[in-house]
A and B are shown apart, each in its own frame.
Chain A
Amino acid sequence: MKRIFPVSIILISLLHFTGCIPNTSTQIQSTAIPEIFPDYTYVTVPSTIAPLNFTPQDTSYQAVIAEFSGTRGNWFRVKGRKNITIPKNKWTELLKANKGDSISVTLKILKEDKWIQHTPFPIYISEHPIDHGLVYRLIAPGYELYSRMGIYQRDLQSYKQKTILVNTLFPETCMNCHSVNRGDPDFFNLHLRGSASGTIILKDGNLDVYDTKTPETLSNCVYPYWHPSGRFIAYSVNTTRQMFPMDPGQRIEVYDTASDIVVYDTEQNHLISSKHLTTEHFETFPAFSPDGKDLYFCVADNKDMPQDYKEVRYALCRLSFDSETASFGTKVDTLLYAPGIHKSVTFPRPSYDGNFLVFTLADYGTFPIWHKEADMGIMDLRTGEWQLLEGINSPHVDSYHSWSSNSRWIVFSSRRGDGLYTRLYFAFIDENGNTGKPFLLPQKDPARYYPETLYSFNIPEFITSPVDLDMRKIAKKAARKTNMQWGGLKDNGPF
């Protein structure tokens, strides 16, 4: 009797399930590509990406079936009442078998007891791998105050998210400015602000916490970028303010009243700079070239702030750097004079193969994250030509971006989902700068996760392996910070 009971339950459940989903033979053909969330139609994905679970946008259906078939073979079908939840093993096999080609997804939706079969859509499988995962911050898109926030790492082959640091352990602490050296998590930088303030630098497994403010510099060091050698980290030091526009379409305007660029020499424990990086103009957003011989940065004319905040427009420049002598060149090259087209260029990020540089372009200002018009652009560093990334940009904010270590993928944050809460998207970029359609960071149940979360994804950075940081060690070290020293201006060029 005891055995019959569970068996009967299973049988009843099976009968119930099959009874509610009519036979797929009675169906209507639809010529439309199905509208699904997230929009994974025609996207280009790496072969190791976690299953792209999705759900039809029109939720008035009884059941849904998705058939996945590869151009080079393999096939499987997924049934669901609400969502399409793809089995990981089958998905992995399918993508592996069709690497460099595409898979086709046919969606059938049961509506009013009739199956509607939509036109199949492809998902392109790139032969270029993507890195192990991401590091990002999760924070509510607020104004000045902050609630829970943390730095997290995410494995891209699964949905696993692990906490690196969270402010439940460091109460009333803001954390950001995390940066890794070309995806290598053994070179990790993170800034804490608040009760446990300090800049955490992990270099070759050695962890130290620094007080980066010196009498000679404007502020703590922010916007870090590692030199490929791992010896230097470029930062900007900014006197940052914010104000609150009353225009319904805008929430916050962040601006600098002063800013310079400094480079931290981890071997000498001092900050150095150049006369070209510490002028009366606003220099910010430093980024080393992949060979380490140049420093890209943005610079804007000094304006009367905050009155003239709409007149502040940044240009993209380059200054040579010699890592042997730890000194700068004397000639500044202007790569993109964005003010000339009434635009402001920010967040320059060169690809690690040295061919491209992706940046954000907004109408004005230093903080495009709150500018709806902000879009991403790409510059071919071999020719100096640039264009907007039309295949990637959206009508909403498209901003902070990071390159994968093989320079074939970028991850960027965008408010295109609901207009406020930033989500992460990946896009493939080929050797000529052509892009694939971006896709949203997969989640196990994206239809529930994204609408329910009250956090924005912030500053995504690729990592080639998991970050190993001990939160409690940081807490101890933060109590005994090392002071960074000022090493002076080092203008020894030209190089």
Chain B
Amino acid sequence: MNRAVRTGRSFFLFMEFLYKYSKFLTPLFLGTGVFLFFYFYAPGLIFFREQNYLFLYTKEFFLDHVTHPGGVASYTGAFLTQFYAFTWAGALIQAALIVLVQQSISRLMKQAGVNYPYQILSLLPALLLWRFSCDQNYMTGSIVAILISLLCVLVMVEKRNKKGYVLRTFFLAIVLYMFAGASFILFLAFIIYFEVRNKEKSRKSFKLLIILTGGLLLAICLPLASSFLFPYPLQQLYLGIDFYRYPNENFYFQYIAWAVILLAVIPTARLAVKNKLPGHRVVYISILGFTLLCGFLLLRKAVNPAMEEALEYDQMAWNQQWETIIRKAGKKQPSTSMSMTCLNLALVKTGKSGDMLFNYFQNGTEGLIPEFGGDFTSPLTTAEVFFHMGLINEAQHYVFEAMEAIPNHRKSARCLKRLAQTNLINEQYGVAKKYLDLLHKTLLYRNWSHNASLENHPEWSILQTYRLTEERIFGSTNMLNILKDLTEKNADNKTAFQYLMAYTLLNKEWDKATEFYELGKHHYSRMPWAYQQAMAFEWYQKSGNLNQTQQELDQEIIQGLTEFMKTMSLSSEKQARAILEKPFGHTYWYYLYFIF
């Protein structure tokens, strides 16, 4: 009983503390929550944003942004996005922007006369923007645009009794359209609201009429008029350009954000009484509980785990963190083709592919060298595979296409880096210089571009020797021949050899295992497990027994296959699968019979 009382008292004291210091604790908890969420739970998403938005310190880049509605917001968003190269910085920026929006709404609520405990509702739009930010294609500039609009409202509301207010408001609305795009509608909505509210006090009907008429006219006509100047579809001019990576999708994001911001302020101002309620602590706790519940529901499935996993694997592959990839896969099997491609690349780069290929689930060759997807994400991972095995032209092709496929027509620093490398390796120095010069105009890639040369990167010179220089056409249908040619051309190309073996095995062409192993057996002092399993199976299929194999196979392999085949012969497929899963689930034989 005493314990329950103590707990109740602690809770009461905690709520009292929260209530007392809410003004400071709300942004602190919100900011910390957003930061920790993105830092620990969605680092891949942060990385993805930076990878797909190249920020250049050039006049042309600036003009390209600011010469369309909402340009300043998208330029600022792009500027901030460059720092997403560091997960901590990206998470911090996301947190700061969302907190600033929340604080602006809280200030607006105060202006609207909303009581202190009710101001906690300003968390709702912030939580919504947090949720939106979990969509990898929701641009940072979108939050900046909302923030600019809210700040403008705050500035103008303070001056609403000053001379020239109406004219200044309309002028600012036009400027705001160029700065923050269609978010100027949010600004106008608040201006009209505050005027209506003011009218209730001062009864200045004429001023209200002008603001109402002018505001509505501006909201409708400004985007329409701008369509004669800016080559964008009307829906983008009304809802914002460059705020979602796919220009014609998910415009409702903006609408919902504006609506929730308006709803958080206006009805609350109506409901909230002027003076403190007698049970304000109860109100506070109730609102806080409601807000936290909304936040939980919004954020519960905010990040697509498969997408986040794929982006994280891709980030690690790009940064060549091979052991980290293998450790991560050890904790949880990768679930997407992109993740599997990265894992297989990590296994190859660490020389473990031959032993560990079937330690993980494999979905055929699609998880090894995926087909060209035509999007702006998956080709980059495939390009990593091509690059490391010496298919430089193909890496270049996939990277160029991925950059071209970025839906909002932006460029990518990652792609430019890789294109500079491929052109240097291909001795296309003029083109390489172009990309390096562009990277020199960035903040974070300047040093890299300065030192990018074959002399400073001997590994690129090695890749140069791996290339197939003979006349031939690339195609996924002749991948096996390409891998074979790569292996035959350069006996040191262990990456290509491992891919040749992995491709052969995953394609279930076990009858070629022995032939192909000859091409790269000099890389090993002991034949890797997966290769032994394939060759044992090949021998078994050809001779019908495992008494005398041509290759020096481990006794363990021979015994294992004997047992496996015995079970297969005595059981139905379903039974055999159930029986063999545990002891043989990580063997080539199990993959052959039961997977894919």
Q: Per-residue 0/1 for B361-382: is the Cβ within 8 Å of any A Cβ (1 yes, 0 no)?
A: 0000000000000100000000
Instruction: Give the distance to chain A from B71, nearest Cβ to Cβ, in Å.
Output: 13
Cβ contacts under 8 Å, A451 to chain B: 433-434, 437-438
Within 8 A of A (CB), among B456-496: 467-475, 482
Inter-subunit contact B409/A168 (CB<8 Å): yes
Distance in angstroms between the alpha carbons of A85 and B393 in the assembled complex: 40
Instruction: Give the distance to chain A from B426, nearest Cβ to Cβ, in Å.
Output: 4
Inter-subunit contact A246/B468 (CB<8 Å): yes
Distance in angstroms between the alpha carbons of A430 and B248 in the assembled complex: 51
Within 8 A of A (CB), among B426-454: 426-428, 430-431, 433-434, 437-438, 441
Inter-subunit contact A147/B404 (CB<8 Å): yes
Distance in angstroms between the alpha carbons of A244 and B477 in the assembled complex: 13
Q: Per-residue 0/1 for B220-237: is the Cβ within 8 Å of any A Cβ (1 yes, 0 no)?
A: 000000010001110000
Question: Contacts A146-B404, A147-B404, A168-B231: A245 and B472 contacting too (C-beta < 8 A)?
Answer: yes
A418 partner, pick from B431, B468, B473, beta carbons under 8 A:
B431
Cβ contacts under 8 Å, A245 to chain B: 393, 471-474
Inter-subunit contact B392/A145 (CB<8 Å): no
Inter-subunit contact A248/B392 (CB<8 Å): yes
B430 partner, pick from A144, A247, A306, A420, beta carbons under 8 A:
A420
Distance in angstroms between the alpha carbons of A488 and B233 in the assembled complex: 40
Cβ contacts under 8 Å, B403 to chain A: 147
Inter-subunit contact A247/B393 (CB<8 Å): yes
Is A480 interfacial (CB 8 A cutoff)?
no
Q: Per-residue 0/1 for A274-316: is the Cβ within 8 Å of any B Cβ (1 yes, 0 no)?
A: 0000000000000000000000000000000010000000000
Q: Which residue of A lies closest to B433 (CB)?
A: A418
Inter-subunit contact A244/B469 (CB<8 Å): no
Distance in angstroms between the alpha carbons of A168 and B394 in the assembled complex: 29
Is B247 interfacial (CB 8 A cutoff)?
yes
Is A452 interfacial (CB 8 A cutoff)?
yes
Is B580 interfacial (CB 8 A cutoff)?
no
Question: Contacts A143-B401, A248-B393: A472 and B473 contacting too (C-beta < 8 A)?
Answer: no
Instruction: Give the distance to chain B from A373, nearest Cβ to Cβ, in Å.
Output: 14
Is B400 interfacial (CB 8 A cutoff)?
yes
Inter-subunit contact B247/A251 (CB<8 Å): no
Instruction: Give the distance to chain A from B475, nearest Cβ to Cβ, in Å.
Output: 7
B437 partner, pick from A143, A169, A171, A452, beta carbons under 8 A:
A452
Inter-subunit contact B231/A243 (CB<8 Å): no
Inter-subunit contact B428/A142 (CB<8 Å): no
Inter-subunit contact B394/A244 (CB<8 Å): yes
On chain B, the number of residues with a Cβ less than 8 Å from chain A's Cβ atoms is 43
A148 partner, pick from B391, B400, B409, B470, beta carbons under 8 A:
B409
Cβ contacts under 8 Å, A171 to chain B: 233, 247-248
Instruction: Give the distance to chain A from B7, nearest Cβ to Cβ, in Å.
Output: 58
Is B10 interfacial (CB 8 A cutoff)?
no
Inter-subunit contact A247/B406 (CB<8 Å): no
Distance in angstroms between the alpha carbons of A451 and B474 in the assembled complex: 30
Is B203 interfacial (CB 8 A cutoff)?
no
Instruction: Give the distance to chain A from B550, nearest Cβ to Cβ, in Å.
Output: 34
Is A454 interfacial (CB 8 A cutoff)?
yes
Inter-subunit contact A243/B475 (CB<8 Å): yes
Is A166 interfacial (CB 8 A cutoff)?
yes
Is A232 interfacial (CB 8 A cutoff)?
no
Is B411 interfacial (CB 8 A cutoff)?
yes
Is A163 interfacial (CB 8 A cutoff)?
yes
Instruction: Give the distance to chain B from A400, nearest Cβ to Cβ, in Å.
Output: 20
Is A261 interfacial (CB 8 A cutoff)?
no
Inter-subunit contact B231/A244 (CB<8 Å): no
B474 partner, pick from A146, A246, A420, beta carbons under 8 A:
A246
Question: Contacts A171-B247, A419-B431, A451-B434: A246 and B393 contacting too (C-beta < 8 A)?
Answer: yes
Distance in angstroms between the alpha carbons of A253 and B472 in the assembled complex: 11
Q: Per-residue 0/1 for B527-562: is the Cβ within 8 Å of any A Cβ (1 yes, 0 no)?
A: 000000000000000000000000000000000000
Inter-subunit contact A147/B406 (CB<8 Å): yes
Distance in angstroms between the alpha carbons of A156 and B434 in the assembled complex: 26
Q: Which residue of A lies closest to B422 (CB)?
A: A248
Q: Which residue of B lies closest to A419 (CB)?
A: B430
Inter-subunit contact B401/A248 (CB<8 Å): no
Inter-subunit contact A142/B393 (CB<8 Å): no
Q: Per-residue 0/1 for A125-162: is the Cβ within 8 Å of any B Cβ (1 yes, 0 no)?
A: 00000000000000010111111100000000000000
A472 partner, pick from B60, B227, B400, B427, beta carbons under 8 A:
B227
Inter-subunit contact A142/B232 (CB<8 Å): no
Cβ contacts under 8 Å, A421 to chain B: 431, 434
B427 partner, pick from A165, A243, A248, beta carbons under 8 A:
A248
Inter-subunit contact B400/A142 (CB<8 Å): yes
A248 partner, pick from B227, B411, B430, B467, beta carbons under 8 A:
B467
Distance in angstroms between the alpha carbons of A251 and B441 in the assembled complex: 27
Is B307 interfacial (CB 8 A cutoff)?
no
Within 8 A of B (CB), among A388-434: 417-421
Cβ contacts under 8 Å, A454 to chain B: 411, 438
Distance in angstroms between the alpha carbons of A169 and B247 in the assembled complex: 10
Inter-subunit contact B431/A246 (CB<8 Å): no
Is B397 interfacial (CB 8 A cutoff)?
yes
Is B316 interfacial (CB 8 A cutoff)?
no
Q: Of residues A143, A163, A165, which shows the largest number of chain B Cβ atoms within 10 Å of its Cβ? A: A143
Inter-subunit contact B404/A243 (CB<8 Å): no
B434 partner, pick from A169, A243, A418, beta carbons under 8 A:
A418
Inter-subunit contact A244/B393 (CB<8 Å): yes
Is B111 interfacial (CB 8 A cutoff)?
no
Is B58 interfacial (CB 8 A cutoff)?
yes
Cβ contacts under 8 Å, A332 to chain B: none
Distance in angstroms between the alpha carbons of A247 and B393 in the assembled complex: 8
Is B405 interfacial (CB 8 A cutoff)?
yes
Within 8 A of B (CB), among A234-257: 243-249, 251, 253
Cβ contacts under 8 Å, B473 to chain A: 243-246, 253, 306
Inter-subunit contact A248/B60 (CB<8 Å): no
Q: Per-residue 0/1 for B321-355: is the Cβ within 8 Å of any A Cβ (1 yes, 0 no)?
A: 00000000000000000000000000000000000
Q: Which residue of A lies closest to B427 (CB)?
A: A248
Instruction: Give the distance to chain A from B492, nearest Cβ to Cβ, in Å.
Output: 19
Cβ contacts under 8 Å, B248 to chain A: 171
Instruction: Give the distance to chain B from A173, nearest Cβ to Cβ, in Å.
Output: 11
Inter-subunit contact A145/B401 (CB<8 Å): yes
Cβ contacts under 8 Å, A253 to chain B: 473
Instruction: Give the distance to chain B from A452, nearest Cβ to Cβ, in Å.
Output: 6
Is A471 interfacial (CB 8 A cutoff)?
yes
Instruction: Give the distance to chain A from B373, nearest Cβ to Cβ, in Å.
Output: 11
Instruction: Give the distance to chain A from B250, nearest Cβ to Cβ, in Å.
Output: 14
Cβ contacts under 8 Å, B397 to chain A: 143, 244, 251
Q: Which residue of A lies closest to B372 (CB)?
A: A144
Inter-subunit contact B470/A145 (CB<8 Å): no
B232 partner, pick from A147, A169, A251, beta carbons under 8 A:
A169
B431 partner, pick from A142, A144, A168, A420, beta carbons under 8 A:
A420
Cβ contacts under 8 Å, A168 to chain B: 231-232, 247, 409
Inter-subunit contact A248/B434 (CB<8 Å): no
Cβ contacts under 8 Å, B433 to chain A: 418, 451
Cβ contacts under 8 Å, A243 to chain B: 473-475
Distance in angstroms between the alpha carbons of A448 and B426 in the assembled complex: 25
Cβ contacts under 8 Å, A244 to chain B: 393-394, 397, 473-475
Distance in angstroms between the alpha carbons of A417 and B433 in the assembled complex: 11
Cβ contacts under 8 Å, A148 to chain B: 409
Q: Of residues A169, A245, A419, which shows the largest number of chain B Cβ atoms within 10 Å of its Cβ? A: A419
Instruction: Give the distance to chain A from B263, nearest Cβ to Cβ, in Å.
Output: 32
9 contacts between A and B (CB under 8 A): A140-B404, A163-B231, A244-B393, A245-B472, A418-B433, A419-B428, A419-B430, A452-B58, A452-B437
Which 10 A-B residue pairings sit nearest by Cβ, starting from the closest? A418-B430, A148-B409, A169-B231, A419-B430, A248-B426, A145-B404, A420-B431, A147-B404, A244-B474, A142-B404
- A142-B404, A246-B472, A248-B469 known; 19 new pairs, CB 8 Å cut-off, are A145-B401, A147-B403, A163-B231, A169-B231, A243-B474, A243-B475, A244-B393, A245-B393, A246-B474, A247-B469, A247-B471, A248-B428, A251-B396, A419-B430, A420-B431, A421-B434, A448-B58, A451-B438, A452-B58
